[in-house]
A and B are shown apart, each in its own frame.
Chain A
Amino acid sequence: DIVLTQSPALAVSLGQRATISCRASQSVSTSSYNLMHWYQQKPGEQPKLLIYDASNLASGIPVRFSGSGSGTDFTLTINPVQADDIATYYCQQSRELPRTFGGGTKLELK
């Protein structure tokens, strides 16, 4: 299985940049696609898609969210962080079976 590693938590100030990383145990990229996706989950709610294929913004998601990376290293950036962004963020790969999620990064206010 492809293991996705995320830092458990990240503390950030409102209005600053947050950078959340996800490292895969093997490449999740093909010749055409980077098959890494990002979700936001707030307490008591279902996950919401933010970024797909590493860098594509999902429908209705604010432009302060962006994604980058290829191969094994990926980043979700939130700039600037707003109060509504306090949540847990998960990466997920769809390159291989079984699809796997990272352990999640809880974004906290500094």
Chain B
Amino acid sequence: DGGITQSPKYLFRKEGQNVTLSCEQNLNHDAMYWYRQDPGQGLRLIYYSQIVNDFQKGDIAEGYSVSREKKESFPLTVTSAQKNPTAFYLCASSSEGQGASLTKTIQYFGAGTRLSVL
């Protein structure tokens, strides 16, 4: 059953603590993304990765870190430097295509992780 798995579904962070959100995909997609969504707001890009061992900052990378050691996995760490981490975090993946393969350029989402501060 192909898809994107995010865990945990709910996560609580204490003051000064780093927490890691897991994202695993078995779609054989090259690109993976992390978004943050605040209540009533759109999606904001935190980090993205087009290939293994390479990733780029998005629009709101401060206070976050990622790694891409395997094609299937793209974990996100919310560090203590992120002062307002309460949000809904979404992981996505896509298979990049050009020209006749444009139909492959679709982004799919995991179920999300809801992070709150204790």
Real complex partners, A and B? no
* Residues of B bordering A, CB below 8 Å: none
